[in-house]
Amino acid sequence: MQDRFGRTIDYMRISVTDRCNLRCVYCMPAGGVDSVPHEEILSYEEILRVAASVAQIGISKIKITGGEPLVRRGIVDFIRRLKQISGIENVTLTTNGVKFYELGAALSQAGVKGVNFSLDCLNPDTYEQITRVDALSKVLSAIELSVKLGLTTKVNCVPIAKYNGSQWSSIADLAKKHPVHVRFIEVMPIGLGKDYAPVSSSRIMTQLKADYGQPTKLDIRQGNGPAVYYAFPNFQGNIGFISAISDSFCDSCNRVRLTSDGVLKPCLCYSDGVSLKPLLRGSATDNQLIDAIKAAIFGKPFQHNLCGEADETSETNNMVKIGG
């Protein structure tokens, strides 16, 4: 469907849990966050009902996110059922990769077509400083498996000068050596992200050009997202930049989000959203559910306010609660 600004909304990010097995410094405090009680998290049945409803109004692409989606029990079977919903054409996943090696083959069989791995560096010490867990080797094996399974494989790196400032080329090197796309995602001033200064794409690009030569800008979109892509000489995958702050892409935004506790969020940066839980757990008919979803999507704001005054960004949750 279209929102009131004429944007086609065909993509939903569904967070299946607010729990995570890592503690990335820009996303989750070292001691974790108070988790939503289990009974407040939507059941898989409830999420599938929302997915069937949004499929009827033209949302055909779903990204499963978290917290860490692979820590929720039953995720493979849930994805299999999601994929069977008429109108849901593409189901992808974003994961920290720690549990992917054990689940990858089953996820692929269940219908996952692509995986985004969050990985900010290739140095084990830096990895542990950022995520507070020693798990780099598991993530690297997971990425290798994803490529072997023939899944569209992307690596998402959040550049933070203090942590991985000297390692952008080594992360980009993954796209040279393997058929994976590496994307640099500007840190957003949401939750703990407010503690870190974004690194501009141009700063990273200067480094990459020095190490890999002149790239060609690609006139393509890959997947659902707003990344701007470049092809570097002799690279198997492309390099992308997602710059929500320095290069806002709100005018072509195609997405909404469903949090694990059932709030339909029209925009990442505002806390506003419509709680679908009372409808799902009450006596609402499917049509009433669809009407509530349509109203929320129609009211999507035109743009984020991440560049405005701090208090104008009303979302106070850490990204782990929202799903990125």
Site mask, ligand SF4, residues 113-152, x = CB under 6 A? -----x----------------------------------
d(CA 106, CA 96): 17
Contact 151, 113 (CB under 8 A): yes
Contact 176, 235 (CB under 8 A): yes
Residues that contact ligand SF4, how many (by CB under 6 A)? 13
CA angle 88, 91, 95 (to 5 degrees): 155
Choose, by CB under 6 A, the member of 96, 152, 156, 224 that binds ligand SF4: 96
Q: Which stretch binds ligand SF4 (CB under 6 A): 20-28, 31-39, 220-228, 272-280?
A: 20-28
Site mask, ligand SAM, residues 73-102, x = CB under 6 A? ---------------------xxx------
Q: Which stretch binds ligand SAM (CB under 6 A): 45-53, 64-72, 82-90, 135-143?
A: 64-72
Site mask, ligand SAM, residues 234-273, x = CB under 6 A? ----------------------------------------
Q: Which of 21, 56 has the CB closer to ligand SF4?
A: 21
Q: Which of 26, 230 has the CB closer to ligand SF4?
A: 26
Q: Which of 25, 279 has the CB closer to ligand SF4?
A: 25
d(CA 160, CA 302): 28
Q: What is residue 2's three-state secondary structure?
A: strand
Q: Angle between the 168-177 and 201-212 helix axes, to the nearest 10 degrees?
A: 60
Q: Which of 10, 68 has the CB closer to ligand SAM?
A: 68
Sign of CA pseudo-dihedral 64, 54, 82, 260: positive
Q: Which stretch binds ligand SF4 (CB under 6 A): 66-74, 79-87, 167-175, 269-277?
A: 66-74
Residue 241 dihedral angles phi and psi, to the nearest 5°: -130, 130
- Regarding 198 and contact with ligand SF4 (CB under 6 A), the answer is no
Task: Give 100-105 contacts, CB < 8 A, sequence gap 24+.
Answer: 100/70, 100/139, 100/142, 100/145, 100/146, 101/138, 101/141, 101/142, 101/145, 103/70, 103/75, 103/76, 104/142, 104/145, 104/146, 104/149, 104/151, 105/145, 105/149
Contact 80, 110 (CB under 8 A): yes
Residue 91: CA count within 13 A, CB half-sphere: 25
Q: Which of 303, 317 has the CB closer to ligand SF4?
A: 317
Footprint of ligand SF4 on this chain (CB under 6 A)?
20, 22-24, 27-28, 66-68, 96, 118, 319-320
Footprint of ligand SAM on this chain (CB under 6 A)?
20, 26-27, 65-66, 68, 94-96, 118, 156, 158, 185, 187-188, 190, 193, 319-320, 323-324
